[in-house]
A and B are shown apart, each in its own frame.
Chain A
Amino acid sequence: MAAKMYVLDPPSSASSESDLEESQPEFSEVFPDIELDAGRGGNLFNSPTSPTNIPHYPRPPSTGSQKSPRSRRQRTTSLNQVTPAAESIIRTPQRAIYTAGRPPWYNSVGQKVEPFVIGICGGSASGKTTVAQKIIESLGVPWVTLLSMDSFYKVLNEKQHDTADRNEYNFDHPDAFDFDLLLTTLQKLKQGRKVEVPIYNFVTHSREARTKTMYGANVIIFEGILTFHHPKVTEMLDMKVFVDTDADVRLARRLKRDINQRGRDLEGVLKQYINMVQPSFNHYIAPLMSHADIIVPRGGENEVAIQLIVQHVQSQLQLRGLKLREELAQAFASNKQPRPDSIKLLPTTPQIRGLHTFIRNKETSRDEFIFYSKRLIRLVIEYTLSLMSFVDKTVDTPQGVVYHGKKTATNKICGVSILRAGETMEQSVCDVCKDIRIGKILIQTNLQSGEPELYYLRLPKDIKDYKVILMDATVATGAAAMMAIRVLLDHDVLETNILIVSLLMAESGVQSIAYAFPKVQIVTTAIDPEINDKFYVLPGIGNFGDRYFGTEPSVS
């Protein structure tokens, strides 16, 4: 199950508030109509080649009248069948698709690359989700966010609630949606920021206390019956797709779905369709077709149309995409620049050089390596704390005189370690700051592409109010550090409140970070001049994490 979430919310991006385990119940609610779609989508979820699995959002509530929507939502059986193994890399003839980690969503100067937003509009039961799924499948983009209009139904008051119970509330009318919230959510997503998407409860017609955390992505797909209704929303869409399915087909699907799966009677479904669904479609939805860039007749069956869409999106993405690490390694290789003020290098005392001699020497045993790196880490952490802001403080002393001293002005300091090597620095931070909170970010280098990918994220809830000591033992190109900084910024941490701390950095990495994030303070004990073609620092330490944790590959 976890593997299936990758498209919507990879474990990497996993929200700061919720765990995978926690998300699971919520996740099952998110797959209400799976049988219908799986059937139509040509055995989608049983296909071993299916690269990604698209989470479903609650479908439009079929205009009221669900007898027991709650129980329906809990039906998740078909989902748990054969899943394509939780493999994170899927190879297609053209390329590898990574479904596990989040690759960079910003360019080499740390600026976010705007995601490509696809809007999918169409009548109820026209096959919008199927089209979305097929696009995601063929697109092969590692990180896609699927946003559904259903999350933005308005909270009903008591009177409206009663109307809904009598099946007379029109859920297909534009007034049923909270377009303001929808607009701000989409704007934030487009900026790559973290958003809390409401979870609409179709029983109580209110928003649940929980929310779903989503992040901006390379591609955002926004689907719903009225996606082109609000002009400002429409403006944000890079591509507008209208799924035009014959009214007879849509009615047939609705009948099948409502009667077979929701236990409703033919008369009721028809009455509702004629009174609300049909008129709303004619008045509000059908006219939106004129906004569309592409009209897809017959919905998900239309392979040619979907291929055209995919080709266009891919070419657009290539224009925006960037080879991050390679570019970073080269960016500052040729032109030597003076080091910016944001770089705080510890004074190179004999002790620091002596400690470096131990940890850089390849002959050093692990026991000594750990001991001397810990000493160096302690020094760099103490130095980092001296860079915080302080205020004057006067105290009384037991000797009876007044002493004019200092006091830290920031009580809210938290550590965030970049796994794995950054974790080695956690102990020191805890030794020096009592009760400090520690967040973690797992970023791994993709061996094929050499690019960093975000796998896991766990941060204190109110991290935006904190000074953040971001820890990584070594910084070479700066790609992982920049990704971590970007994550913090996306969580609304102020750039001035971030300090990136490491034992050793390469000149080019330092320059890249300083250039991309001029207000981030960079603290290190040594800066080495070069990076080799494997992106290791020269002369360097080697793989710090491997040496510290004893996981070096055996020498052949």
Chain B
Amino acid sequence: MDNHDIQINYNFNNEYCKKYKSLCVLDSNDQIKELQTILRDKNTSRSDFKFYSDRLIRLVIEDSLNQLPFTDCKVVTPTGATYDGLKYKSGNCGVSIVRSGESMEQGLRDCCRSIRIGKILVESDADTHEARVVYARFPEDISQRHVLLMYPIMSTGNTVSKAVNVLKEHGVREECVILSNLFCTPQAVQTVLDSYPKMKILTSEVHPVAPNHFGQRYFGTD
């Protein structure tokens, strides 16, 4: 990409939320913006990069969990009063797309201690640049579950499309797939949601340039 400046008021987030009902962008605030800035800064040290990635991941995961189904429930507090709360339904699982999606597993584990986590390895063919699934391992009853698909950076959307396709082949209903994502491009949103309009995408930022160095920096293989 050319070295041109992208306007501050680039309002992809709002624009795309309106256009795609199943796209959900984390309520932005200056704090989240700061985390994003640190992750995008090429001068950020690796230890900082990992530290601030983990913080942003935690926020995205916490927000993704809001998309899971729940029922109302009343509980009695130690003071003897009743609290009108809610209870999440069981039957969820996580699926990470190897390798960068695995960076989000710990964040999910920190929120749901015993959740089942499946994995998908998607590689793009060196010659045709076409994404193909190399490996997939899911909980047996995945077709009955809501799936939190984890993939932090989405620039073309091809990888995610392939992964959703595999999930569907395993009997997962499209509306039960929620993608947890940190950064994505408008193009990727379009690619994924045009093919799978019923799934949900939860991200922290929609921006024309995706920080593609994420996996390398996070795992230290750059």
A-side interface residues toward B, CB under 8 Å? 347, 349-351, 353-354, 356-357, 360-363, 371, 375, 378-379, 382, 385-386, 388, 390, 393, 395-408, 432, 434, 532, 536-543, 547
Select which of B3, B37, B63, B83 is within 8 A of A406 by beta carbon: B37
In the complex, the answer to whether A540 meets B70 with C-beta atoms within 8 Å is: no
Min C-beta distance of A358 to chain B, whole Å: 8
Which residues of the partner chain A approach B58 to less than 8 Å between Cβ atoms?
378, 382
In the complex, the answer to whether A538 meets B79 with C-beta atoms within 8 Å is: yes
Which residues of the partner chain A approach B82 to less than 8 Å between Cβ atoms?
539
Give CA–CA (A303, B206) in the complex, Å.
81
B-side interface residues toward A, CB under 8 Å? 1-6, 8, 27, 29-34, 36-38, 40-43, 51, 55, 58-59, 62-63, 65-66, 68, 70, 73, 75-79, 81-83, 85-88, 110-111, 113, 209-213
A-B contacts, 5 of them at CB < 8 A, read A350-B88, A354-B85, A397-B209, A538-B77, A543-B78
Give CA–CA (A401, B213) in the complex, Å.
13
In the complex, the answer to whether A407 meets B34 with C-beta atoms within 8 Å is: yes
In the complex, the answer to whether A402 meets B6 with C-beta atoms within 8 Å is: yes
In the complex, the answer to whether B31 meets A354 with C-beta atoms within 8 Å is: no
Min C-beta distance of B5 to chain A, whole Å: 5
Which residues of the partner chain B approach A351 to less than 8 Å between Cβ atoms?
62-63, 65-66
Which of B31, B59, B79, B81 is the most central at the interface, judged by chain A CB atoms within 10 Å of its CB?
A: B79
Give CA–CA (A393, B70) in the complex, Å.
40
Which residues of the partner chain B approach A386 to less than 8 Å between Cβ atoms?
29-32
Which residues of the partner chain B approach A349 to less than 8 Å between Cβ atoms?
63, 66
In the complex, the answer to whether B77 meets A397 with C-beta atoms within 8 Å is: no
Q: Please give me the residue from chain B that is nearest to A526 by CB atom.
A: B83
Select which of B30, B40, B73, B211 is within 8 A of A390 by beta carbon: B30
Q: Please give me the residue from chain B that is nearest to A378 by CB atom.
A: B58
Knowing that A403-B6, A405-B33, A406-B30 are A-B contacts, what are 17 other residue pairs whose CB atoms are under 8 Å apart, sorted by A's residue number? Answer: A350-B66, A350-B68, A360-B85, A371-B113, A375-B110, A395-B41, A397-B42, A397-B209, A399-B211, A400-B3, A401-B3, A403-B209, A406-B34, A407-B37, A538-B77, A540-B79, A540-B81
Which of B42, B82, B83 is the most central at the interface, judged by chain A CB atoms within 10 Å of its CB?
A: B83
Give CA–CA (A334, B66) in the complex, Å.
36
Select which of A354, A405, A538 is within 8 A of B81 by beta carbon: A538
In the complex, the answer to whether A360 meets B75 with C-beta atoms within 8 Å is: yes
Select which of B1, B5, B63, B79 is within 8 A of A542 by beta carbon: B79
Q: Which 3 A-B pairs have the closest CB atoms?
A: A405-B37, A542-B78, A357-B85
Give CA–CA (A538, B84) in the complex, Å.
12
Give CA–CA (A357, B88) in the complex, Å.
10
Give CA–CA (A532, B87) in the complex, Å.
27
Select which of B31, B37, B42, B76 is within 8 A of A382 by beta carbon: B31
In the complex, the answer to whether B51 meets A361 with C-beta atoms within 8 Å is: no
In the complex, the answer to whether A375 meets B111 with C-beta atoms within 8 Å is: yes
In the complex, the answer to whether B75 meets A397 with C-beta atoms within 8 Å is: no
In the complex, the answer to whether A402 meets B62 with C-beta atoms within 8 Å is: no
In the complex, the answer to whether A399 meets B27 with C-beta atoms within 8 Å is: no
Which residues of the partner chain B approach A347 to less than 8 Å between Cβ atoms?
27
Q: Please give me the residue from chain B that is nearest to A384 by CB atom.
A: B31
Give CA–CA (A375, B37) in the complex, Å.
25
Select which of A353, A354, A399, A542 is within 8 A of B209 by beta carbon: A399
In the complex, the answer to whether A357 meets B83 with C-beta atoms within 8 Å is: yes
In the complex, the answer to whether B5 meets A357 with C-beta atoms within 8 Å is: no
In the complex, the answer to whether B78 meets A540 with C-beta atoms within 8 Å is: yes
